[in-house]
Amino acid sequence: MFDRWLRVRLSPTNTADFHYRWLRHACDLDRHPLTNERTVCSSELPDDVRARRAFVEGGELRVEWAHDHRESRYALAWLERHAYAKDRDKLALRAPPNDVGGFEIDGAELSVDGRVERALHLVRERGAAIVRVPARERNGAEQATESIIDAFAARGLSVIPTHFGRIEDLRTDNTTNANTDQLGYTDAAVELHTDQPFLDEPPHFQMLHAIRAADEGGHNAIVDALGAAEALRAEDADAYAILTSTPVTFHRTQKSFERVVVSPILSRDRNGRFRVRYSYFTMAPHKLPFDEMEGFYRAYDRFARLVRSPQNQVRFLLEPGDFLLYDNHRMLHARTSFRGPRWMRGVYFDVAA
């Protein structure tokens, strides 16, 4: 079962997808007992029609509805005749992956250069890489940051300083960075976002290098926004079109820094390269025609529910010495709240000019 629709196997080789709203509106529950005419309008159904459970038995699809616990039955032959979305499972759709193992690199037998080379390859392929170091390198992780930066520089990536500085020391007792009046320097949870969406050109890559783990919490999460966007386009083309065309204002204001950018949530450049800007804490009030505002929020919320769904997230904990590298134009990242002296170092990179 999916969030708003159901995939039904009609035969060993064929499937069909049906929206829950369509299934409930088309079923035999709300019909006159003598004339068999429908007695309910679809507008009378809840906005969030969902199935509590669904299964196939004896040549029938049986669906129990979450809002009233009634059960609808549909002959598979009837569904076959009325199917409007057959065999979508055979399309080459990119779903957001959630397997942490597919992003991890065991750095035990690799040099720093080897780790960075593998990480860049995996980022090009999947959008992110988690490099694990052996236990013997856990102590003194702080001294390793510059050698990792040098390895990136050898492969044509330059450090991009920001209004925080050259390297961010993400810790609650920070004394090394400017403009620390933001969530990253607290122990609060920071939900999924991209970094620096309020810049004309957000940095392409970020590395998070773990120096010290929290006593409790501080887990990381990443989501492939490209996969989520493609899934949204396959399920709701109108929502996708809205997010690629509607101008949204991103506004960052701090004690000694302010920037504003107006851009769609999803976009592609002239070469077809994907970019997502997504930040709930820097998304400012925006003006749209009255008849477009509700449609925008419907589309935005559909996308937000996709990326916030736990089944689409990769969750993990960085130990001292480990580092995460991700494509900031493609991936969203987050962290849970924590307790204790957690310390991450953040470095932005882009291709050297």
> How many Å is the Cα radius of gyration of the chain?
24
Backbone dihedral angles phi then psi of residue 123, each to the nearest 5 degrees:
-65, -40
DSSP state at residue 231: H
Domain boundary at 57, 90, 123, which?
90
Domain boundary at 90, 112, 142, which?
90
Structure pTM?
A: 0.82
Q: Are residues 265 and 339 in the same domain?
A: yes
Q: Are residues 248 and 205 in the same domain?
A: yes
Q: What is the pLDDT along the chain (353 residues), one digit of tens a residue?
A: 677 899 999 999 999 999 999 999 999 998 999 998 889 899 999 988 999 999 999 999 999 999 999 999 999 999 999 999 998 877 655 557 778 999 999 999 999 999 999 999 999 999 999 999 999 999 989 999 999 999 999 999 999 999 898 999 999 999 888 888 889 999 999 999 999 999 999 999 999 999 999 999 999 999 999 999 999 998 899 999 999 999 999 999 988 899 999 999 999 988 899 999 999 999 999 889 999 999 999 999 999 999 999 989 999 999 999 999 999 999 999 999 999 999 999 999 998 65
Distance CA 234, CA 245 (A): 17
Q: Are residues 238 and 104 in the same domain?
A: yes
Q: Which residue has the tokens 């929290």?
A: 214
Query: How confident is the model at residue 105, as a pLDDT?
Result: 97
Q: Are residues 128 and 240 in the same domain?
A: yes
Q: Are residues 104 and 145 in the same domain?
A: yes
Q: Are residues 320 and 242 in the same domain?
A: yes
CB 49 within 8 A of CB 67: yes
- Residue ranges making up the domain that contains 54: 5-90
For 301-334, give the DSSP string: HHHHHHHHSGGG-EEE-PPTT-EEEEETTTEEEE
Q: Are residues 263 and 114 in the same domain?
A: yes
Q: Are residues 84 and 226 in the same domain?
A: no
Q: Are residues 243 and 181 in the same domain?
A: yes
Query: How confident is the model at residue 93, as a pLDDT?
Result: 52
Q: Are residues 162 and 277 in the same domain?
A: yes
Q: Are residues 171 and 63 in the same domain?
A: no
Domain CATH number, residue 32: 3.30.2020.30
Domain CATH number, residue 328: 3.60.130.10
Distance CA 223, CA 94 (A): 13
Question: How many independent structural domains does the chain possess?
Answer: 2
Buried b (16+ CB within 10 A) or exposed e, 310-344: eebbbebebebbbbbbbbbbbbbbbbbebeeebbb
Helix, strand or coil for residue 352? coil
Query: How confident is the model at residue 182, as a pLDDT?
Result: 87
Distance in Å from the first CA to the final CA of the chain: 47
Query: How confident is the model at residue 1, as a pLDDT?
Result: 61
Query: How confident is the model at residue 95, as a pLDDT?
Result: 58
Q: Are residues 59 and 109 in the same domain?
A: no
Structure-block tokens of residue 326: 């991700």
Q: Which residue has the tokens 């997502």?
A: 276
Domain boundary at 26, 55, 90, which?
90
Cα–Cα nearest to 3, from 228, 277, 189, 210: 228
